């Protein structure tokens, strides 16, 4: 799933001021120990390297995905956790088979174009249809050209085209696919945004289930050339693809530290372990999930036991529709433990944070109290606070049920990382060890401070408050497209 928006496009970034008054005196010593332990003994970089070299990709439902689940379970056990468990769930697994895409001016004389299938495309496709340019692939593009795409293949840009009007929204590839399908398209070709022919994969489904039309991605240069050719005349494309889909079992991995004085309340920190299959998923989401694993190691090594219970969660199935986190929330609703969750911290492609993020303004004092201590330990930590909300990562199911969410903020990915998002160049050599350590140490401080706080002012939002929060953060349209807007206006 596309998740960067939650961490890098939140409502506001504000600089810290020195006194916030919610910290405990003992946190200074505890945070100092966390700082030194991670700087000197972090295992995040090494364990991710081993996983990348010995497991490869971590696609949910694949043999490699199962190996990753077991690897992290065993790793947590080796850190001394006694409370480690698998949380199994059923998932509609999708994996790519074959793909051949050809395009040209004459349906009988087409030339091959480099492409990759987007996940949840149909199991078998063999069609030849006219291609039409639908710009950014937004509702307004279709409204401006009614019926243009019916029975044809939509060509859309993944992001926002240069020259688009100010304020043009950026929708997820799955949302653009849903819009194209709604308007009668029989296929969609998505133009990737980075240069040099990089191809992107990822789900084209808003539900995590198979979609009715084929969805493929082409490189920026090829895609922009197609747009130019369409200004001169018609184009046709033949898409021949096979894919595999079946219901299988996947497993979240959960390790628990019981709270010292308020064990009935818990704080969750998680990251998705799964990745797409074109590379090893070192950035998406190795740096997030293995940072969480190292936070767990740090807590165990230092025998940290905050007031509230802490759960470290490796989610599977995020890339295929937030399936692991949805399963976790569904189970929490079923066993009525959802109200015990006081915070959910999500680490998804988080790198070298300079502050914290939260969905709740009420956490400002607490988070910046925690951050002010971190800043005394390292002045490179700027103690910024990012307040707002976004979609398309494992915080989403929690947020939609009113749970406060957050994590790191203000960081920067290593050079070349974003260009390789969901691509065959997302490999371990991109990982910055220093940035990874920073994610671990500041994340561990945020986790301990929140779980140990005398009071967490951020409360669960009720149904009406959740609706108002989503409206304020302009999330109604994408949730409607995904069929997750549960309110009747």
Residue-level pLDDT at 1: 54
User: Most distant CA pair in the chain: distance in Å?
Assistant: 76
C-alpha–C-alpha distance, residues 225 and 98, integer Å: 24
Q: What is the CATH number of domain 4-83+258-481?
A: 3.40.630.10
Q: Kindly state the tokens that stand for 292.
A: 């969480």
From 93, 38, 48, select the one nearest 314 (Cα to Cα).
48
Q: Within the chain, which residue ranges are assigned CATH 3.50.30.30?
A: 94-244
Q: Burial-class residue 335 by CB neighbours within 10 Å (0-12, 13-18, 19+).
A: exposed
Contact 458, 365 (CB under 8 A): no
β pairing state of 262-272 and 235-257: unpaired
Q: Kindly state the tokens that stand for 320.
A: 């295929």
Residue-level pLDDT at 412: 94
Residues 6+ apart with CB under 8 A from 36: none
pLDDT 10s digits, 424-480: 999 999 999 999 999 999 999 999 999 999 999 999 999 999 999 999 999 999 999
pLDDT 10s digits, 171-223: 999 999 999 999 999 999 999 999 999 999 999 999 889 999 999 999 999 99
- Please state which CATH class domain 94-244 belongs to: alpha beta
Residue-level pLDDT at 20: 64
Instruction: Give the pLDDT mean for 347-371.
Output: 98
pLDDT band at 10 (very low <50, low <70, confident <90, very high): very low
Q: Within the chain, which residue ranges are assigned CATH 3.40.630.10?
A: 4-83+258-481
**Segment among 5-9, 19-23, 91-95, 436-440 with least mean pLDDT:** 5-9
pTM of full prediction above 0.75: yes
pLDDT 10s digits, 105-132: 998 999 999 999 999 999 999 999 999 9
Q: Is the pLDDT of residue 13 over 80?
A: no
Q: Is the pLDDT of residue 16 over 60?
A: no
pLDDT 10s digits, 271-320: 999 999 999 999 999 999 999 999 999 999 999 999 999 999 999 999 99
From 313, 384, 352, 362, select the one nearest 461 (Cα to Cα).
362
147: left (phi over 0), alpha (psi -120 to 50) or beta: left
pLDDT band at 248 (very low <50, low <70, confident <90, very high): confident
Residue-level pLDDT at 14: 39
Contact 241, 117 (CB under 8 A): yes
C-alpha–C-alpha distance, residues 465 and 62, integer Å: 40
C-alpha–C-alpha distance, residues 159 and 171, integer Å: 7
Instruction: Name the 3-class secondary structure at 206.
Output: coil
Residue-level pLDDT at 8: 36
C-alpha–C-alpha distance, residues 239 and 43, integer Å: 45
Contact 388, 8 (CB under 8 A): no
C-alpha–C-alpha distance, residues 217 and 173, integer Å: 10
Cβ neighbour number for residue 189 with a 10 Å cutoff: 27
C-alpha–C-alpha distance, residues 173 and 160, integer Å: 12
Q: Could you identify the residue written with the tokens 């951050």?
A: 371
pLDDT 10s digits, 85-107: 999 999 878 999 999 999 999 98
Angle at 134 between CA 129 and CA 139, to 5 degrees: 125
Q: Kindly state the tokens that stand for 426.
A: 């997302």
DSSP 18: S
Q: Is the pLDDT of residue 4 over 50?
A: no
pLDDT 10s digits, 139-155: 999 999 999 999 999 99
Q: Burial-class residue 232 by CB neighbours within 10 Å (0-12, 13-18, 19+).
A: exposed
Residue-level pLDDT at 6: 39
DSSP 203: B
Instruction: Name the 3-class secondary structure at 452.
Output: helix
pLDDT band at 11 (very low <50, low <70, confident <90, very high): very low
What are 112's strand-pairing partners? Answer: 102
pLDDT band at 489 (very low <50, low <70, confident <90, very high): confident
Contact 266, 308 (CB under 8 A): yes
Residue-level pLDDT at 328: 98
């Amino acid at each position: 799933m596309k998740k960067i928006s939650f961490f890098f496009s939140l409502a506001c970034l504000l600089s810290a001021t020195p006194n916030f008054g919610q910290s405990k005196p003992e946190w200074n010593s505890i945070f100092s120990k966390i700082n030194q332990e991670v700087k000197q003994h972090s295992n995040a970089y090494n364990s991710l390297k081993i996983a990348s070299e010995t497991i490869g990709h971590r696609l949910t439902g694949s043999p490699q995905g199962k190996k990753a689940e077991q690897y992290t379970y065993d790793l947590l056990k080796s850190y001394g956790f006694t409370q480690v468990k698998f949380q199994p769930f059923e998932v509609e697994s999708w994996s790519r088979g074959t793909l051949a895409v050809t395009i040209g001016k004459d349906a009988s004389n087409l030339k091959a174009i480099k492409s990759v299938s987007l996940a949840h495309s149909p199991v078998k496709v063999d069609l030849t249809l006219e291609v039409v340019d639908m710009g950014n692939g937004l509702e307004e593009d279709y409204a401006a050209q009614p019926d243009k795409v019916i029975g044809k293949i939509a060509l859309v840009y993944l992001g926002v085209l240069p020259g688009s009007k100010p304020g043009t929204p950026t929708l997820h590839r799955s949302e653009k696919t849903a819009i194209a399908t709604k308007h009668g398209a029989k296929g969609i070709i998505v133009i990737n945004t980075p240069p040099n022919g990089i191809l992107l994969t990822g789900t084209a489904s808003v539900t995590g289930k198979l979609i009715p039309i084929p969805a493929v991605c082409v490189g920026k240069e090829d895609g922009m050339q197609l747009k130019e050719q369409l200004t001169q005349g018609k184009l046709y494309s033949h898409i021949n693809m096979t894919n595999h889909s079946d219901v299988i079992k996947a497993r979240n991995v959960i390790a628990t530290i019981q709270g010292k004085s308020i064990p009935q309340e818990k704080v969750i920190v998680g990251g998705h372990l799964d990745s797409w299959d074109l590379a090893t998923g070192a950035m998406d989401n190795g740096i997030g999930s293995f940072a969480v694993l190292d936070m767990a190691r740090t807590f165990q090594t230092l025998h940290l036991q905050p007031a509230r219970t802490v759960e470290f969660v490796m989610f599977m199935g995020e890339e295929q529709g937030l399936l692991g986190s949805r399963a976790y929330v569904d189970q929490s609703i079923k066993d009525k433990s959802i109200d015990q969750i006081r915070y959910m911290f999500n680490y998804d492609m988080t790198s070298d944070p300079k502050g914290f993020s939260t969905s709740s303004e009420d956490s400002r004092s607490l988070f910046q109290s925690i951050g002010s201590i971190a800043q005394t330990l390292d002045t490179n930590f700027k103690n910024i606070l990012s307040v707002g909300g976004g979609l398309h990562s494992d915080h989403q199911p929690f947020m939609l049920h009113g749970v406060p969410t957050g994590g790191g903020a203000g960081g920067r990915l290593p050079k070349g990382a974003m260009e390789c998002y969901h691509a065959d160049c997302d490999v371990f050599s991109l990982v910055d060890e220093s940035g990874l350590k920073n994610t671990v140490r500041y994340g561990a401080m945020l986790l301990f401070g929140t779980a140990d706080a005398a009071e967490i002012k951020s409360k669960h939002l009720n149904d009406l408050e959740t609706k108002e929060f989503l409206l304020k953060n302009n999330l109604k349209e994408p949730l409607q497209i995904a069929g997750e807007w549960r309110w009747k206006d």
